Structure 1
Amino acid sequence: MPFKADSRHIKTKKLLWLTLLVLIITFVFHSSIRAREIELNGSIVLDGYVTQIGHAPGSSIAYVISKKKRMIFIVDLANSLVRERIKVRGRPVGVAVEPESDYAFVSIRKGRKGYLFLVSPDGSIVEKILLKDRPGKIAINPQTNTLIVALEKEKKLLLISKETLSVTGEISLPYRPELLGLDRDSDRAVVVSKSSDNKHGHRQGEDHRGRKSMIMIVDLESGTLLDEISFRERIHDIAIDTDRDIAVILWNRGITLMDINTGDVIKTFSKQNKGCKKCFKKHGSCHFRHKGVVDINQSTHMAVVAAAGELYFIDLNEKKILAYHFGKRGHAEVISVDPYQNRALIGARIDKRKLRYPFKPDNPKKLSDHSSFNERNKPKKHEKRNNPRERTRLFIVQLPNPVPEITALIPDASRAGEGVSLRVEGRLFITDSGVRFNHQDVNTTFINNETLHADVPAELLSEPGSVPVTVFN
């Protein structure tokens, strides 16, 4: 039973039509983003400043650590509540989540030594590993089952087997590893030293105009330092697009895209650049000085930058940027983007005395559930002026859904009167993606960002002819 129909793109519902023929036909569409489609799905109150978020793609829980409060929060994202609070002896500084089991590795600093905790989703600490130095940021490469731990004082990267929890190697570095990013496909680490260890005459923590940060590209398999790249400004955060080999660098006055293979700057977004002035608001010369964070949706190749009062979306395919204003009072501390559900988890610090609800979309009806937020959190008369009463909230922000692209249908034909299990291959699929067969919804199973399974019943294949198949987000 061959199928025939032409493809069309409906903008309002983001539908993609694909013809089922005996031969496979490939359709390619470009995704678009619109700021008005951003929605706030929930917010969760946390105690104290947050240091980092650990979250597995598609998971309903997240691990949030607070270095100042010495706490590990296990957050239920589906119900917007804190499931567990774990008080630790030491300061948690890094977290990474194992995608398959939802267990989290947390690095702890305690005095001159450190620990690595393995925490289960129910809040129990399964394993404790003693480290000989104070750990920093950590990351997991699921393709190699390796955990990478940054040792700042010893200027090393510690490689630990995820299965045996034993040390498999050490890599010496010329500078302190303060920020850590991974290129998972090539098994490389992108390490940033924000202070350069006095090599350029500045102490750690100073912020001089003209000071340098160092970017180190490390091959984790061989343990060799592939490249050292000098960056003139202090780097606040960095994220790596694995497929594009692009590093998104957040610094005081802008955002830079860098090719990690060559070390060349691809593009810089700042107020000084032509075409970016409308995107960047006028909040002084150093817009990102007071904390800014970045993460990348590896499926859509969209970088999401959260700063004081702004969200920036950077299309790494077309190298374009879009700004979205969400208020002046929220100072973003951490961010994590879920590629499966296409949403961002943003930890923002808010001053209750000067509170403005940070997300203010064009349509205020979207925040009807939070209309009494300002009334509930008005400052009390007895609160002193020198006590800002700052509160940290974890915001669950739904990002604009991309338009899916289909590259193959398996099988591409079927006999009349027989049901078929259809495999849809492409890209930019999310957990909410669905399949409609001949304008009727069919049972759809999300596999990953490139694969969907659809069960087509026999009654929809009762007559021979051409039948349209629709994939929508």
Structure 2
Amino acid sequence: MRNFARCCAAFCVLALSGAGSAARCSEAFTTNQPADSLSFVDLATMKAVAEIKIGGKPAGIALSPDGAKAYVTAPDSKELVEVDAVSRTVTRRLTLGGGPLGIAAHPTRPEVYVADWYAHKIFVVDTKTFAVIADIPVGQSPSGLAVTPDGRLLLSADRDSDAVSIIDIASRARLASVAVGKRPFGITIDSDGLRAYTANVKSDDVTVIDIAARKAVGKVATGRRPYAVALARGRGFVTDQYGGTVTVFDLATLRPLKAIDACDHPEGIQADGAEGNVYVACWGDDFLLRVNPDTLTVTGKAVVGDGPRAFGKFLR
């Protein structure tokens, strides 16, 4: 059973990175901030199957390329926590200091990148030694992070700079800062690595960035206090924290299509590997929501721990 779980995890993560097209993720991990825990949800049954203590008010999450490890940021204890996703146990803890929040994993390198909200930099952590090997200055209060599918670039949503930093991973150099909407928080890159989408909390919109050109090329109006963005079936899905909705827009035209009634304070959001479902962490209602990206309807929910955020990539 454990070997099967590892195979499923690896296949699903490959699909998420663009290397596969038919995989559907089998499991979700939600960071439950007030509960100091991590919930494991079986996506086939939409039921939580386990919950473990993390501590430090966990928020951000990323998975190793093979899906065997989950990396969780704990802002209150200023730590990065490693979880064995198969045995469902905490294996290592690393004190970073500052305010670790957003996190992203490299698709091939043994590295994760952690945004330090207070020190305005990104920690580079070697996942083999579980030690910081570099830090990269960015804009003010970096939040969401995302890596291009080819592993060349890291993008950081610098909330209090109203900008996105573009970083060359090999040289650790900040190549550009792109002006976006007000207070960008979550950031998502498409499967081709061509465009990035930021959820701008203060201006209630999404900015579309042409990554190669290093400039904003579009804007989409959303509901109140957008948190993060998912992409599926040629559509964008945005969690509107204060609106209790998920704004859906067309990726080609950037035209809003619908506001789906979701839950109390929807936050983390991600599409599965086949783009067959979109999953939403509902902070206020303590459940994980499943949305059909074709019919734009809610098709299921799973009860999880208190205050799920799932800020990052949380499906395998």
TM-score category, normalised to shorter length: 0.7 to 0.9
State the structure with more CA Rg.
Answer: 1
Q: Conserved in 2, the CA contact under 8 Å of 1:239 and 1:294?
A: yes
Find the counterpart in structure 2 of residue 182 from structure 1: 147
Q: Conserved in 2, the CA contact under 8 Å of 1:336 and 1:345?
A: yes
Find the counterpart in structure 1 of residue 279 from structure 2: 345
Match of 2:237, as an amino acid? Answer: V
Once the two structures are overlaid, the 10-residue window that deviates more, 319-328 or 170-179, is 319-328
CA offsets 1:246-266 (integer angstroms, 9 cap, x no match):
121223333332212223332
Q: CA deviation at 1:73?
A: 0.8
Q: Which 5+ residue runs of structure 1 have no aligned equivalent?
A: 1-54, 197-212, 271-286, 350-389, 402-473
Match of 2:187, as an amino acid? Answer: I
Any idea what SS the aligned residue of 2:265 has? strand
Q: Conserved in 2, the CA contact under 8 Å of 1:67 and 1:91?
A: yes
Find the counterpart in structure 1 of residue 286 from structure 2: 392
Q: Distance in 2 between matches of 1:127 and 1:348?
A: 28
Name the CA shift for 1:309/1:110 in 2 (closer, same or farther; >3 Å): closer
Superposition pairs for residues 355-370 of structure 1, below 5 Å?
none
CA offsets 1:41-70 (integer angstroms, 9 cap, x no match):
xxxxxxxxxxxxxx9453311110022221
Among 85, 93, 101, the alignment partner of 1:120 is 85
Query: Within the alignment, does 1:249 sit opposite 2:198 as a pair?
Result: yes
Q: CA deviation at 1:314?
A: 3.7
Q: Conserved in 1, the CA contact under 8 Å of 2:196 and 2:208?
A: yes
Q: Distance in 2 between matches of 1:394 and 1:157?
A: 29
Q: Conserved in 1, the CA contact under 8 Å of 2:140 and 2:159?
A: no
Query: Within the alignment, does 1:295 sit opposite 2:230 as a pair?
Result: yes
CA offsets 1:7-28 (integer angstroms, 9 cap, x no match):
xxxxxxxxxxxxxxxxxxxxxx
Name the CA shift for 1:99/1:83 in 2 (closer, same or farther; >3 Å): farther
Find the counterpart in structure 2 of residue 16 from structure 1: none
Find the counterpart in structure 1 of residue 211 from structure 2: 260
Query: Within the alignment, does 1:331 sit opposite 2:283 as a pair?
Result: no
Q: CA RMSD in A?
A: 2.7
Query: Within the alignment, does 1:194 sit opposite 2:159 as a pair?
Result: yes
Tell me the percent identity: 21
Q: Which 5+ residue runs of structure 2 have no aligned equivalent?
A: 1-11, 17-23, 296-316
Among 119, 130, 141, the alignment partner of 1:165 is 130
Q: Distance in 2 between matches of 1:329 and 1:184?
A: 31
Q: CA deviation at 1:291?
A: 4.2
**Alignment length (residue pairs):** 271
Any idea what SS the aligned residue of 1:178 has? strand
Name the CA shift for 1:253/1:155 in 2 (closer, same or farther; >3 Å): closer
* TM-score when normalising by structure 2: 0.75
Any idea what SS the aligned residue of 2:75 has? strand
Q: Distance in 2 between matches of 1:397 and 1:131?
A: 36
Find the counterpart in structure 1 of residue 186 from structure 2: 237
Find the counterpart in structure 1 of residue 6 from structure 2: none
CA offsets 1:173-231 (integer angstroms, 9 cap, x no match):
343322212223252111122223xxxxxxxxxxxxxxxx1221111110111112233
Q: Distance in 2 between matches of 1:253 and 1:92?
A: 25
Q: Distance in 1 between matches of 2:139 and 2:291?
A: 39
